[in-house]
Chain A
Amino acid sequence: MNNQTTLDILGLSLGVFGILIGLTLVGEFLRARQPSGKANPVVEAFVMRVHTWWGLVILTSLAVLSGRTGVLLLFAFASFAALREFLTFARKHRADHLSLALGCFVILPLQYLFVAFDWTALFTVFIPVYAFLLLPIVSALRGDPSNFLTRVAEMQWGLMICVFCISHVPALITYDMPDGSDRSILLIVFFAMVVQFGDLFEYYAGRRFGRRRIAPSLSPKTIEGMIVGVLCAMAIGAGLAWATPFGLVGATLMAGLASVTGMFGSLVFAAIKRDKGVKDWSHLIPGQGGFLDQLDSVIFAAPVFYHMTHLIWG
């Protein structure tokens, strides 16, 4: 990687570390204000989340600094972990065993190989076309018709969400910058930061002064929270415009678009969780639930962000 690119990644990581140090201090300050021997559950939950963010930020920074391979491995693992959670709650029969195993151990690695080799023509159609047609055939060959459409539909949805959509984040590396530099990796940092910070502001603003719920039977998300979240994401996007080829206005709008898509994505996931009767997808990320709980907004925003980048600045 170019020296300037590495320095910029380091600079952004240190910037986020600075924010986390601030949040850690806030958490410890709130803790210290509690009477001794008593723990406030809201404060403790906040501190636990901050600790988890430290882990996620350090891991992502290291992956991005190590370049293409690191990013691909990180997101391939995230896909695997997300698919594992999704399939745990999906409708499936014995007859789907082989097709599900193919999805996890063949289709997932192949999708990331196609991204790694920049075979755009294959990686954009592999799961929506080939896996979509192949896996139901494999299930049908085992000859169990009960709930067949539900089973193959949930399987395909899992692959689209957990593998196809998530793989669009590392695919941003393969975007050819207009100036021919290797700075496309910074697009991942830009994307991750606007979506995650947008979510964060949406969550805390919604708690503070949110009133009107968007879908009361699904999720506590409010209109006020979402507006604040998207505006903050746009402000962050504008501040990071230098890292993108979008220009100031373009970066602001792209940040807003990614953030809005992401928030509606997590609404969709709230509907699925409500239907399946689960609160969190797993317990693997302390304070946040599972990988899918952490990534729901990223999953929806990634393909839109990827294709808009190619469409407008391609």
Chain B
Amino acid sequence: MVALFTLPRRIAARTVGHALAFVARFITAVRADWRGIEPVAVQRVYYANHVSNADMPMIWTVLPPHMRRQTRPVAAADYWLKNKLRAFVGPEVFNCVLIDRRPDARTEDPMEKIIEAIDEGASLIIFPEGNRNMTEDPLLPFRAGLYNIAKARPDVDLVPTWVANLNEIMPKGEVIPLPLICTVTFGAPVHVRDGEDKDSFLRRAADALVDLAPERPGARASGGDGA
């Protein structure tokens, strides 16, 4: 009975999901480059660079539907629960794992929720920088979360995922997205090695991610100043 009542809502969520993917494709012709993995439904944690709120929908769009259904983005509860529309899109359209970013006020441990989602068989999309990168550097230093996941569930593939061009398509503070081509590159999975400490693992994971960034004169990550 409960399933029957939620059916219209679930259909609405699916429809909105398809509409968002269509808009993403129309604006950016977003394309996946499966450089280090195959597009098959293996359980993975995709960890990506974060420059714009549109990063996660881009990765979500390029995943084939059978992979998209089992993939859950890890996102901030304060952002996605801010109003009714976001509370529909975040948890229901994208099926986000919502975590509380306020260490003093939260009642649930974010890492527990993440591990729980992995144990339920979900793949995850995470942004280990924690915040949107507004600097000239390609990446901010990674938070410990990625290492903790790698330690807790060492069998799961951690896949570096580079989203190119989004800082130009939709920089922070702009409302209208620019139509530019966006590419999402998936690299070879990384795992934590025996005896590897937190800092060296995070550095290795960040290097694997930056290696995927395209080098292009005239369209550098920092805003196209390079030549």
Taken together as a complex, chains A and B put the C-alpha atoms of A94 and B176 apart, in Å, by: 12
A41 CB within 8 Å of chain B = no
Q: Mark A103-146, 1 if CB is under 8 A from B, else 0.
A: 01100000000000000000000000000000000000000001
Interface size class of B (residues with CB under 8 A): 10 to 19
Q: Is the interface of A mostly helix, strand, loop or mixed?
A: helix
Q: Which segment, of A12-20, A84-92, A183-191, faces chain B?
A: A84-92
| B24-45 contact mask (Cβ, 8 Å, vs A): 1 or 0 | 0000110100000000000000
Q: Is B189 on the interface with A (CB-CB < 8 A)? A: no
Stretch at the interface among B116-124, B125-133, B153-161, B215-223: B215-223
The smallest C-beta distance from A156 to any residue of chain B, in angstroms, reads 16
Q: Collect the chain B residues with CB atoms within 8 Å of residue A277's CB.
A: 216-217
B54 interface hit (Cβ, 8 Å): no
Give the residue of B165, B174, B179 whose beta carbon is less than 8 angstroms from that of A83. Answer: B179
- Known: A89-B216, A276-B217, A283-B31. Is A94-B178 also a contact (CB below 8 A)? no
- CB contacts under 8 Å to A, within B64-85, are none
Q: Is A56 an interface residue (CB 8 A)?
A: no
**Most chain B Cβ neighbours within 10 Å, of A91, A100, A147:** A91
- Across the interface, do B180 and A87 meet the contact criterion of CB distance under 8 Å? yes
| B168 / chain A contacts, CB cutoff of 8 Å | 92
Q: A276-B217, A276-B218 are in contact. Are A88 and B180 (CB under 8 A)?
A: yes
Residue of B whose beta carbon sits closest to that of A146: B225
Contact in complex: B178, A97 (CB < 8 Å): yes
Which of chain B's residues 175-227 have a Cβ closer than 8 Å to chain A?
Answer: 176, 178-181, 216-219, 223-225
Interface of B is mostly: loop
A276, B216: Cβ atoms closer than 8 Å: yes
Please, how many residues of chain A have a CB less than 8 angstroms from a CB on the other chain? Answer: 27
Please report the C-alpha to C-alpha distance between residue A97 and residue B172 in the assembled complex, in whole angstroms. Answer: 11
Are B216 and A94 in touch, CB under 8 angstroms?
Answer: no
Knowing A93-B225, A146-B225, the reply to whether A282 touches B181 (Cβ < 8 A) is: yes
Determine the distance from Cα of A65 to Cα of B223 in the docked complex, in whole angstroms: 44
User: Is there contact, CB below 8 Å, between A87 and B225?
Assistant: no
Q: With contacts A91-B218, A92-B168, A277-B216 known, is A104 near B179, CB below 8 A?
A: yes
A282-312, CB under 8 A of B: which get 1 and which 0?
Answer: 1110000000000000000000000000000
Residues on B with beta carbons closer than 8 Å to the beta carbon of A149: none
Q: What's the nearest-Cβ distance from chain B to residue A135, in Å?
A: 13
Instruction: Say which residue of B31, B174, B179, B218 sits within 8 Å of A80 (CB atoms).
Output: B179
A89 to B29, CA, bound (A): 14
User: Is the pair A278, B216 in contact by a Cβ cutoff of 8 Å?
Assistant: yes
Measured in the bound complex, the distance between the Cα atoms of B225 and A85 in whole Å is 18
New A-B pairs, 12, CB < 8 Å, besides A88-B180, A284-B29: A84-B29, A84-B181, A85-B181, A89-B216, A89-B219, A90-B224, A101-B176, A105-B176, A147-B225, A276-B217, A276-B218, A282-B29
Residues in chain A within 8 A of chain B (CB atoms): 80-81, 83-85, 87-94, 97-98, 100-101, 104-105, 146-147, 276-278, 282-284
